[in-house]
């Protein structure tokens, strides 16, 4: 437990130091260029996350005396807040889709938001790997990583909610849909998170189009079994397979080489009865 406390104190000093250095650079006309200023401000925003990020549950976990109890508490809290983050992101996408704005601006915002989802997950992984390394092999390393993940996710949840609300697009009307509304799903692309907006109403043409594929330029092979209707589309760039199931919705893969090792994969859940 002492290792964990030492690491937490070290992290706090790190955040203060990096913020001081960056502000020094910004205030110096010699050191600062326009591009560096933008980059530095971005780092300041990220470094400004304080120890507990206003998350009282995290504070309670770290107060537990036994290391095993503290670790278990952190694991449960990390899982909980990650679920909350996904729900916040899904709600934000739904609000953007329902936004009373010109389509080109809506599409621009949605694309930028999807890019931010993937970028944030990469940043979260790398940043928390750094804090894990500060344990230098101590028994608080795993706790440090979990604490970092919780803090960053908590900060992102509050920031998304604030900006969506500030722009007046926090519209919940999409939730009253018959369950077939377009929604955010989390797929995989080359092993990394691949956020994508899809709809259960889409046909195969729409699905392939969102992957940048033209169905008219494919060779089609239909494969049937009692549970699903699986269609294979062969393109010059690879093979797309769309499996349709009344129970599970659609499962989509695209493989540049072997179909057993897809480049892209994601699920489209079925319409949900209200």
pLDDT along the chain (274 residues), means of 10: 46 47 45 44 42 59 76 90 95 90 92 96 94 83 90 94 77 57 93 93 94 94 75 94 90 91 94 69
Question: Dihedral of CA 175/177/178/179: which sign?
Answer: negative
Instruction: Report if residue 172 sits inside a domain.
Output: no
Domain-terminating residue out of 124, 145, 166: 166
In this structure, the answer to whether residues 144 and 205 fall within a common structural domain is no
Question: Dihedral of CA 166/56/80/120: which sign?
Answer: positive
**How many Å apart are CA 90 and CA 196, to the nearest integer?**
10
**How many Å apart are CA 229 and CA 224, to the nearest integer?**
5
pTM for this model (two decimals) = 0.72
In this structure, the answer to whether residues 144 and 196 fall within a common structural domain is no
**How many Å apart are CA 147 and CA 77, to the nearest integer?**
9
In this structure, the answer to whether residues 18 and 134 fall within a common structural domain is yes
Domain-terminating residue out of 121, 142, 166: 166
Question: Mind listing the pLDDT tens digit for each residue in 200-236?
Answer: 999 999 999 999 999 999 999 887 666 668 999 999 9
In this structure, the answer to whether residues 90 and 7 fall within a common structural domain is yes
Q: Which domain holds residue 217?
A: 178-268
pLDDT at res. 260: 87
């Amino acid at each position: 437990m002492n290792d964990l406390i030492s690491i937490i104190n070290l992290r706090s000093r790190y955040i203060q130091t990096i913020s001081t250095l960056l502000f020094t650079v910004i205030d110096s006309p010699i050191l600062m260029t326009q591009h560096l200023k933008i980059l530095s401000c971005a780092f300041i925003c990220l470094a400004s996350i304080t120890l507990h990020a206003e998350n009282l549950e995290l504070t309670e976990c770290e107060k537990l005396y036994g290391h095993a109890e503290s670790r278990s508490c952190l694991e449960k809290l990390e899982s909980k807040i990650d679920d909350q983050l996904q729900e916040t992101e899904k709600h934000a996408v739904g609000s953007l889709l329902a936004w009373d704005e010109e389509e080109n601006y809506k599409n621009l915002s949605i694309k930028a938001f999807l890019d931010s989802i993937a970028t944030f997950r990469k940043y979260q992984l790398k940043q928390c790997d750094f804090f894990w390394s500060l344990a230098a092999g101590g028994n608080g390393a795993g706790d440090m990583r979990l604490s970092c993940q919780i803090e960053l996710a908590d900060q992102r949840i509050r920031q998304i909610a604030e900006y969506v609300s500030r722009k007046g697009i926090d519209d919940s009307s999409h939730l009253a849909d018959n369950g077939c509304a377009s929604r955010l799903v989390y797929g995989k692309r080359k092993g990394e998170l691949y956020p994508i907006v899809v709809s259960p109403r889409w046909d195969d043409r729409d699905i392939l189009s969102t992957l940048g594929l033209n169905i008219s330029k494919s060779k089609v092979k239909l494969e049937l079994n009692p549970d699903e209707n699986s269609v294979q589309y062969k393109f010059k760039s690879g093979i797309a397979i769309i499996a349709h199931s009344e129970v599970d919705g659609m499962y989509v893969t695209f493989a540049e080489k072997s179909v057993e090792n897809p480049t892209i994969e994601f699920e489209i859940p079925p319409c949900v009865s209200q």
